[in-house]
Every structure is written in structure tokens, then in C-alpha cells.
Structure 1
Amino acid sequence: MTEQTPAMQPDSQRERERRIAYGIGAVKYIFLLALLRLFMTPMSDELMGDELLPMPTWEWSLFSITPCILIYLLRRPQDWRQLSNDLTIITWSLRFYLLYGLAFTILQGVWVLWIAVLAGTAGLVGIWRLNRKEFMSAV
């Protein structure tokens, strides 16, 4: 005799939706911090005549991992529908992380940015696959 798991309670469903909203907000906030961090170096050079911070390296790799974590945690169809409203900003952030990481890895030889390249690629592939799976289930 097998036991069946009960369906999610309405309160737990609301709690899950709230956690997803927090995760999406965190990804947006981290993307904003990444952009500020990127433009801080040239801005400090122009305003003060001295570079206070070097160009982003290892922290950029950490920034690029956050959307991937969100995508792979929310791959259930119900969660993916909620995430699909904010998919544009997540896709653009992954592209930005990927392009920055690739450019600085190739041009300046900052090898730690390969993590950003891999994370950007994995996130974009994950979005493509999940969108394709959603489309296939609709047909």
C-alpha cells in the first residue's frame, strides 16, 4: 500500500510564491549592483583622477551565478509560469554577464571570469530548454 502525498496547501503555495518573488527581486538587485560595480571604475577614474577599484573579476563570477540558481530551482511548471513574467530581465542579465566575462577573459586574460562565461551560457541554455519544454507541453 502506497501513500500518496497530499496536494500543497494554499498557505504553503502562497509562501512558495512569496519566496519566488523574493528570489526574482534578489536577482534584479544583484544585477543592479553588478552594473554599478562595473561602471564605478571608469567613473572614479574620471571624477577623482585615480582608479579606486579595479575592473570586476571574481565578484562578477558570483553575480553571474545568481540567475542560474534561480532558473534551476524554479523549473517546475507552476514556478516557471511565475518566473516567465520577469524572464526578459533575467535573460538580459545573463547575456550581459556572458559578454563581459567573455570579453575580459579573452582580451585581458582574467581566467576567473570563465565562471561567468559558463554561468551565462548555462543559464541561457536552461531558459531555452525550459521555454521549449513549456511550449511542447502546450501543443
Structure 2
Amino acid sequence: MAVEGSDRVVRSERRLAWRVGFFRWFFLLSMLRMFAAPASKDFFGRELVPWPTWEWALCALVPVLLIFLSRRPDDWEDLRGERGLIKWALILYLFYALMWAVGTGAWTLWIAVGICLAGFAGMWQLNRKERLRAG
């Protein structure tokens, strides 16, 4: 029985590590995607790659999924070191989406704004549960 419990813990930690790794890679790729438009204009004199629109909502969804999948108290505790990066990713996604949604009127970026706000609400709720559990 003890082996089954420890095996379950190892599998849970492995799944969490995969989720965090996916989030980090996706965040890196989203940053490359965001800077591709101005870089192509600088290097080639014209915009070869447009600014992100619909894919930005997908980028914003990744940290929210990580928060949602890590809503168990033990998983949320294990994400303590990643919470800052998750928060900054959401801030960046929200800032870009809000800036371009207001500036260009792209409705798909309003979806990204809503996703980011849902991520902040999820983080707030999990942090609140953690404080209540500790106190």
C-alpha cells in the first residue's frame, strides 16, 4: 500500500513538472511571436508577420489552464516558485491584449483579456484558500 501511495505522488509530481515545462516553453514561444512583427519590420523593412490576434487568446489560456489543473492544495503549494512567472505572464498577456483590443478594436483580443482576468481570479481564489488552510 505504501508503494502505491508513493507511486501516485511521483506520478502527480511528474505531471506537474510536465505542465510547468509546457507553460514555460509556451511562454517563451509567445514572447518570440510577439516580437516577430516588429523584428520583421526592422530587418526587412516591412511587416512579414502580423501582430498576434487570435493566437494571443490561446497564449493567455495556457497559464490559466496551469492554474486550473493545479487547484489541489498540494499542487498549488508545489507551484509556489512558479507563481511569480505565472502572474507576470498573465500581466503581460493582459497588457498586450488590452492595449491592442482598445487600439485596433479586435474582438478576439477581448477574449484574451477575459481569460487573463479569469486567471487572476483563479490565483486570488487559490491563494485565499491557502491562507485559510494555513490559518
**TM-score between both structures, scaled by the size of structure 2:** 0.94
Cα deviation for residue 81 of structure 1 reads 0.6
User: Are 1:69 and 2:65 counterparts?
Assistant: yes
Q: Does 1:101 align with 2:104?
A: no
**1:90 matched residue in structure 2:** 86
One-letter code aligned to 2:111: I
Q: Distance in 2 between matches of 1:69 and 1:47?
A: 35
Q: Which amino acid aligns with 1:39?
A: F
Q: Could you tell me which amino acid in structure 2 is paired with residue 112 of structure 1? A: T
Equivalences for residues 13-28 of structure 1 within 5 A: 13-28=9-24
Match of 1:129 in 2: 125
Matches within 5 A, 1:4-19: 9-19=5-15
2:79 partner SS: helix
Q: 2:50 aligns with which of 35, 54, 71?
A: 54
Aligned residue pair count: 133
**Structure 2: tracts of 5 or more residues without a match:** none
Deviations 1:10-42 (A, max 9, x none): 112101101101101111111111111011110
**Pairwise CA RMSD:** 1.3
What TM-score comes out, normalization by structure 1 length? 0.92
Stretches of structure 1 that go unaligned for 5 or more consecutive residues are: 1-7
Amino acid in the other structure paired with 1:65: L
**CA distance in 2 between partners of 1:84 and 1:128 (Å):** 13
